[in-house]
């Protein structure tokens, strides 16, 4: 079955560490997105990519980095510059040119700073 896989499900980071969250999809979707979710707030867009080797900053890109070397993969690195990284991170994908189909989401990664 096609879908999006995020790993790990839970991740703990020490102060000053970089960590990378994985997102892989086998839906042949062109566009991929990273969102951050905090309690009582809607999702906020971190980065998005509409084609391989290209990506754009979203609303809260500071302290994060991404790459899109393959269509299937869109990893997110949370750097030490991100001052408050504890949150639930969601990856999504969508088929370019068919925006009204909506997004397909992964099951999320919960990141906690210890």
Query: Can residue 103 be called a binding residue for another protein (CB under 8 A)?
Result: yes
Query: Can residue 8 be called a binding residue for another protein (CB under 8 A)?
Result: no
Pick from 45, 52, 60, 61 the residue near another protein by CB under 8 A: 45
CA atoms within a 13 Å half-sphere pointing along the CA-CB vector of 52: 7
Query: Can residue 50 be called a binding residue for another protein (CB under 8 A)?
Result: yes
Query: Can residue 16 be called a binding residue for another protein (CB under 8 A)?
Result: no
Pick from 48, 55, 64, 74 the residue near another protein by CB under 8 A: 48
Give which of 88, 93, 92, 61 is closest to 77, Cα–Cα.
61
Which parts of the chain are beta strand (E)?
4-7, 10-13, 19-25, 31-37, 44-51, 54-57, 64-66, 76-78, 87-94, 104-105, 109-113
Q: Which of these segments, 17-25, 69-77, 79-87, 97-105, binds another protein (CB under 8 A)?
A: 97-105
Q: What is the Cα–Cα distance from 66 to 56, expressed in whole angstroms?
A: 9
Query: Can residue 27 be called a binding residue for another protein (CB under 8 A)?
Result: no
Residues that bind another protein (CB under 8 A): 4, 6, 33, 40-45, 48, 50, 58, 88, 90, 92, 94, 96-97, 99-100, 102-103, 105-108, 110
């Amino acid at each position: 079955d096609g879908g999006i896989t995020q790993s790990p499900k839970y991740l703990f980071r020490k102060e000053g560490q970089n960590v990378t969250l994985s997102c892989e999809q086998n839906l042949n979707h062109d566009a991929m997105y990273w969102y951050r979710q905090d309690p009582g707030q809607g999702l906020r867009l971190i980065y998005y990519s509409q084609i391989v080797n290209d990506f754009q900053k979203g609303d809260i890109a500071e302290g994060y980095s991404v790459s899109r070397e393959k269509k299937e993969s869109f990893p997110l690195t949370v750097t030490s510059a991100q001052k408050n990284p504890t949150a639930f991170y969601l990856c999504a994908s969508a088929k370019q040119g068919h925006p009204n189909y909506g997004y397909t989401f992964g099951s999320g990664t919960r990141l906690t700073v210890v």
